[in-house]
Structure 1
Amino acid sequence: MASEQTDTSTGTSAPQTPEWAGWPDERLLDLRICDLGVTIEGSVLETRLADLQRELDARGLVFQPHFWLSADWFSPDAVPGVAIPFYLAHPRLEKLERAQMLEVEGGTPEWCMKILRHEAGHAIDNAYTLRRRRRRQQIFGPSYMQYPDYYTPKPYSKSFVLHLDAWYAQSHPDEDFAETFAVWLTPDSDWRTRYADWPALKKLEYMDGLMKELAGKAMTVRTRRKVEPIGGIRKTLRAHYERKRRHYGVEHPHFYDRDLRRLFSDRPEHATNMKAARFIARVRKEVRRMIAGWTGEYQYTIDQLLENMIKRANELNLRLPGSEEHAKLDFTIMLTVQTMNYLHSGRHRVAL
């Protein structure tokens, strides 16, 4: 789909702009992923991967992970490499990703590097079969633990480092290892000071000693196998995003609708009143703290519920039917009930 032309100034071949770059979303969504023709070479990913390798080299590691494009971020078991989502290889695909998923995971240089450091943690784990080590299992937990579909983080725990969002280190022992590696690898992270009074410091100190032990040592697993490369993914972009939205819950649940409609209004006579979404955003911090005190739930968990309500109220174009004071009291009561009904049932756990 994307042909090449010769750069007469250098004698090298440079990829032409692919035909699909100018297509509207609806047409592009019917293209198969294997037909995109995008590569890491010639994209912004080249610079970011070079930056990652420099960080590894600066630590004395001779570890050199390999990379390929796939449907998502991952590092397969027993493979010292990392799959990168295809959309990061072209601006038009990033635009489509944002339209479909509301954000582009790894879409900024800083965000991309954070994820690359995390995935490099998995890859180095594979490259030196570190999960077999007894001390590694004692520090982080056994890798054979089954990955959950969802996990419920403890935001105030100091037993885990903070790197990626949603307290990702808490989701599985292997993610804890990868997150700890990422914090250790990040230039100027000053982790000894940042985590000085945290139990997580023990993990970072173990990581520091382990990486010093590996410095200068060749990888024991050297396969360059690529799992699920884009050339073999025959489904369309449309099918890909339908599955992805189901997995991550981007298609917002509507179980707030009845309560939101009872409290707010979409009637014509209230069309000039304050939007319900704006009202909820204004009282968000105060109400969150109040209900956390009443129910014992984490403020973060309640905040996720509030975020969903703001989005849904905006989609329904709801507005205040009366005074803010009255609405605040009714909303606080409603949110307390929602917190007890839904949060304790585990429905609002953070998806992996």
Structure 2
Amino acid sequence: MVESRLVGPVRVVGVGLLGTSIGLGLQGRGIDVIVADASPTNLSIAIDYGAGRAAAAEDDPQLIVVCVPPDVTAEIVARELDAYPNAIVTDVASVKLAPLDALRAHGADVSRYIGSHPLAGRERGGPLSGRADLFIGRPWVVAAHDGISYQQATAIDDLILDLGAILVEMSPEEHDRAVALVSHVPQVVSTLMAQRLTDAPASALNLAGQGLRDAVRVAASDPELWVQILGANAEPVRKILLALRGDLDRFIDALDNPVAPGAGRKIAEEIAAGNTGVARLPGKHGQDRRFASLVVMVDDKPGQLARLFNEIGEVGVNLEDLRLEHSPGAQIGLAEISVLPEAVARLTEELAARGWRIAG
């Protein structure tokens, strides 16, 4: 068993996806985990699943991790601070300034509280979706404030490192502005684009490719949760949406008469600005390195994708990324393989020699 930094016990309040995953990860390192939840059913499932044990009257946790919806985060944190005066308390809500402000207004002892936020998740929630490896390699923000000392925050740093996540330090204000840009506004844009599909004819939807699916993927998110998140981070989200509205207005003006002098240039400049933005996103392992791709046609039969991966490995080319799209009306998939640019020609030749059909 790998030695842990935390001593424990650790109390986890709320055993949805994140809470259960935290419990599983810490239990796997031999740490005593206490789990609690408002739902007896969820609590029973999490305990049976191995995420921790039920609370006992003599519990004196080193650290408490509150994993509840944003609209009750401050209330539960305040309750835990009162109930366990020797514990450091953190939460994993996706907004950080609102809970801190609410706790200060409540008069809570924020000298023992510091918010945090793991940027990890799955498409499904609940204790059955928990995974001990959910946080490995994922950023986990610690939102420091003036009311807590570095020594007291050490337990939260240890939690993050024990779970294999990457510790990122930000102020609550910096965090909320950042997630507004990289998470909350993309959710709104995806949702609004998906709304356009509601009354779209089936003939149009049958033409949908991976580009549209990528754009609307997060639109399937839980409305109740997002009402809470957007309400708690409204101002940063609103500022970005106002700027985006200006971008849309410029684009619409250019399309109003696309053959007018300068209209084509305006459209090209907007598209190029988007290219620049995408290029700033960190690639694999955080590296600023671009990859090239080729599209391989894969029969929709058991074992075909595994065979493709195996043969790419036999060729000696490292697979950097993969996107899989199914062709409408045909029993094939289109596997877009991303590799280093210098490997494309050789991989294309080798795969074709092995009988694979290269679509692009």
- Structure 2-normalised TM-score? 0.27
Which structure has more relative contact order (CA 8 Å, sep 6+)? It is 1
- Structure 1-normalised TM-score? 0.27
* Larger strand fraction of residues: 2
